[in-house]
Amino acid sequence: MPVWEDIDDAQVLQLAQDGDPEAFGELYERYAKFIFRFLYSHLYDRLDAEDLTEEVFLRAWRTLPNFRQQGVPFVAYLYHIARNAMIDHHRRSRHTSQDVSIEDGLVINSNSNPAETATNNLEHLELRKLLVQLRDDYQEVLILRFLSELSPDETAQAMDRSVGAVRVLQHRALAAMRKILVKNQIV
C-alpha cells in the first residue's frame, strides 16, 4: 500500500487510470470536498449532495480510461461530470429551487449538535435564496471560484471559457451579489 501523502495528484491519477481502485479512492479523498461544495451549493438537500458526490466519482471512474491528463485538468473534468449529474438529478426528481420549502431543506444531522445543524442549514438556505436570484453563469462562477476554491484557470476550464472571460464574469457576479446582499439587508 503506497503512502498516498507522498504521491502527487498526477501520479495518483495515473495509478487510477491503470486500474487501481485504491488510487481512485485517494483521488476521491482529495477532491470530494470540493465537488460536494459545488453540488450542495446548487441543491437544497445535503443527502442529495452526498449521493451525487459519490455518483460523480463513479461516473468519473467509468470514463477514466478516456481522460487524457494533458487535456482538461482532472478537477475541471470532475466539475463537468458534476454539472451533468446535477442536471440528471433535477430531471429525475423534478425538484426546482423554487418549490422546495424551508422545512424540506432542513436536514436532520444526527452526528452534530442540533442547534449547530439548524444554523448550518439556515445559512445554506440563505445562500441558496441569494444564489437563485443570480444568473446561472454568475452562480456558477461564484460557486467555482469562491465556494469550491478553484483557480481562475481551473474555473475557465470547468466553464469552457477563457480566463479573461471568467475574470470579467467574476467581477460582475460579485457586484450583482452585493446588490442582492444589500437588498436583503445582509450587509
Partner 1 sequence: MQTNREESEKILHSCLDLILTGQETLDSVLARYPEQADMLRPQLESLLWLRNINQELDPRPGFVAASRRRLVAKIQQERVAERVEDLAPKSGFFSLFLSRRFATPLIVALVLLISFYVASNGLNLDSQNAIPGDRLYAVKIIFEKAALAFSRDHASDAELRVEFTHRRSEEIYRLVAEGRYEFIPETVKSFENEVGQTIISLNQVASQNDDQARQIAGELEDYLNHQRAILAGLIQNAPVNAGPAIAAAIQASVKGSRDARGVGSGSPPTSTLIPPPRPTEPPAPTPTPRPTSTRPPVWTPTSAPTETPEPTSTRPPTHTPWPTSTPSPEPTDTPRPAPTDTPAPTNTATETPTPTSTETPTPTYTVTPSPTYTATPSPTYTAMPTSTDTPTPTPNNTVTPTTTTTAIPGGVNTPVPMDTAVPMRLYP
Residues 112-141 that bind partner 1 (CB under 8 A): 112, 120, 123-124, 126-127, 132-138
Smallest gap from Cβ 155 to partner 1, in A, equals: 11
Question: Three cell numbers at 33?
Answer: 470536498
- Contacting residue, 14, 61, 100, 118, with partner 1 by CB under 8 A: 61
Task: Tell whether residue 2 is a contact of partner 1 (CB under 8 A).
Answer: no
Task: Judge whether 34 and 81 are in contact, CB under 8 Å.
Answer: no
Task: Judge whether 164 and 158 are in contact, CB under 8 Å.
Answer: no
Shorter beta-carbon distance to partner 1: residue 33 or 102:
33
Write out the binding residues for partner 1, residues 75-94 only, by CB under 8 A.
75, 77, 80-81, 83-84, 86-87, 90-91, 94
The rounded distance, in Å, linking the Cα atoms of 40 and 94 is: 17
| Of residues 29, 31, 27, 33, the one with CA closest to residue 64 | 27
Smallest gap from Cβ 17 to partner 1, in A, equals: 13
Task: Tell whether residue 174 is a contact of partner 1 (CB under 8 A).
Answer: yes
The rounded distance, in Å, linking the Cα atoms of 149 and 147 is: 5
Task: Tell whether residue 105 is a contact of partner 1 (CB under 8 A).
Answer: no
The rounded distance, in Å, linking the Cα atoms of 121 and 106 is: 6
- Contacting residue, 71, 102, 104, 113, with partner 1 by CB under 8 A: 71
Task: Tell whether residue 17 is a contact of partner 1 (CB under 8 A).
Answer: no
For residue 6, the Cα-to-chain-centroid distance in whole angstroms is 26
| Interface size with partner 1, residues (CB under 8 A) | 93
The rounded distance, in Å, linking the Cα atoms of 138 and 83 is: 15
Task: Tell whether residue 178 is a contact of partner 1 (CB under 8 A).
Answer: yes
Task: Tell whether residue 167 is a contact of partner 1 (CB under 8 A).
Answer: yes
Task: Tell whether residue 102 is a contact of partner 1 (CB under 8 A).
Answer: no
3-state secondary structure of 103: helix
Shorter beta-carbon distance to partner 1: residue 103 or 112:
112
Cα angle 90-95-97, degrees, rounded to a multiple of 5: 105
